Amino acid sequence: MEATTRHYLDYNATAPARPQARAAVAEALTLPGNPSSVHAEGRAARAIVEAARAEVAALVGAHPAQVTFTGSGSEANNLALSGPRPARLVVSAIEHASVLRPAAERPGAFALIPVTRDGIIDLAALEAILAEPAPSGPTLVSVMLANNETGVVQPVAEVIALARRAGALVHVDAVQALGRLPVAFNALGCDMMSLSAHKIGGPKGIGALVRRDGLSLAPLVAGGGQERSLRAGTENVPGIAGFGAAARAAGAELAEGREMARLGRLRDRIEAAVRKAGQDAVIVGAGAPRLPNTTCIALPGLKAETQVMAFDLAGIAVSAGSACSSGKVEPSHVLAAMDLGPEVTAGAVRVSLGFGSTDADADAFIEAWMALRGRMLGTADADASRRTAAST
């Protein structure tokens, strides 16, 4: 029996490892030294760590000394929220669980920023929240640069301006935007920014928190003086090396400019085919600025988990909601916050593209989506759906 060709359309969950990252990891694994050791082997390991730190910093317009390596983007988010020991946390309703859950553990000093139906942070609501009397101590505003489920890009510059006028700190979760949008940490003027390697083709299990000069943080992991005493424990040298290599490759793509335009064309072709098939499908956040690689498509009346399984059987990997729920397909808090209604919220899947995505991947998704919609509407409509797909 011939194996089904697989089409991987879940880059926002994790990107395949880039060849450059795999090579960097393999090379680093040959080194025996601890980066904290002063002998030649230790210095060689330290050189790899610092070279990678410089590559990651360059990708986000920061200085190498501002980059602290962590075990993940989620750890970076947790460090950002707890490190400055803020008296009040203000986060948007569409944040990743690694922001929402730590924030919700402080119910007496926690405010949630609503979003519009397009999935954009309500700036007027944020301004009103910041105008309210706050507990004694700093307020920290945490927002993502681009949403992981919808791809909607947030008005972070405006958020920072409002926060500055209120004397608040700002943390930006740039995990999904990294490598897909130009990011300039120091020019943007935020206080902290979270990053993750595996979203850009680096290894899993390595992230970073970028912080502005002079900002004091308390470590989550205490012990030795690694990472300028912000994260104790021997550094993950292979992971860090892979992160640096992936950052260098992603930066080259952004500078060249054609890759994101190519992915945008693929995304638009998928959406055009879906729209042409009928008015029942919903492109979530279509009226807002979005990442060029991401589309969230809802088919009201057909549960997302059913769609994900059907696509998988057809050889296509997509997601429903965030991929950080231990394999569970749960209702999306992001779509619920957008007030799109229960049928749209329950019936949305995310298609996310990346450096390995091709026309064949887009064609396969369109064909499978048309067949799925046809089965939902009845066999009489299935042939018409396939003809529509063929003409797109």
| Contacts with 30 (C-beta within 8 Å, 6 or more apart), sequence order | none
Using 50, 70 and 90 to split pLDDT, how confident is the model at 134? confident
Pairwise pLDDT comparison (377 vs 97), residue with the higher score: 97
Q: How many CB atoms lie within 10 A of CB 65?
A: 12
Total-model pTM: 0.93
Is residue 173 within 8 Å of residue 153, measured between CB atoms?
no
The C-alpha angle with vertex 281 and arms to 10 and 293, in degrees rounded to 5, equals 30
d(CA 149, CA 323): 9
Residue 57: its pLDDT value, please?
Answer: 98
Q: What digits encode the pLDDT tens for the residues 38-73?
A: 999 999 999 999 999 999 999 999 999 999 999 999
For each of the domains in the chain, give its residue range(s) and CATH number, in order of start: 7-15+257-390 (3.90.1150.10), 19-254 (3.40.640.10)
Q: State the pLDDT confidence band at 278, using cuts at 50, 70 and 90.
A: confident
CB 146, CB 120: distance < 8 Å: no
Active-site option among 324, 329, 336, 371: 324
- Select from 179, 378, 365, 339 the least CA-distant residue to 271: 365
* pLDDT range class, residue 214, cuts 50, 70, 90: very high
For every residue of 183-228, DSSP letters joined together read --HHHHT-SEEEEESTTTTS-SS-EEEEE-TT-----SS-SS-HHH
Query: Tokens 């879940």 sit at which residue?
Result: 10
**Nearest by Cα to 155 from 141, 166, 167:** 141
89 neighbors 111 (Cβ within 8 angstroms):
yes
pLDDT at 329: 59
Catalytic-residue membership of 190: no
Q: Which residues contact 152 (CB under 8 A, 6 or more apart)?
A: 118, 119, 120, 146, 285, 288, 289, 290
Q: Measure the CA angle with vertex 116, ends 115 and 122; round to 5°.
A: 55
Q: What is the pairing mode between strands 110-113 and 139-144?
A: unpaired
Q: What is the pLDDT of residues 298-341, one digit of tens each?
A: 999 999 999 999 999 999 999 996 555 445 556 799 999 999 99
Q: What's phi and psi for 82, nearest 5 deg?
A: -105, -25
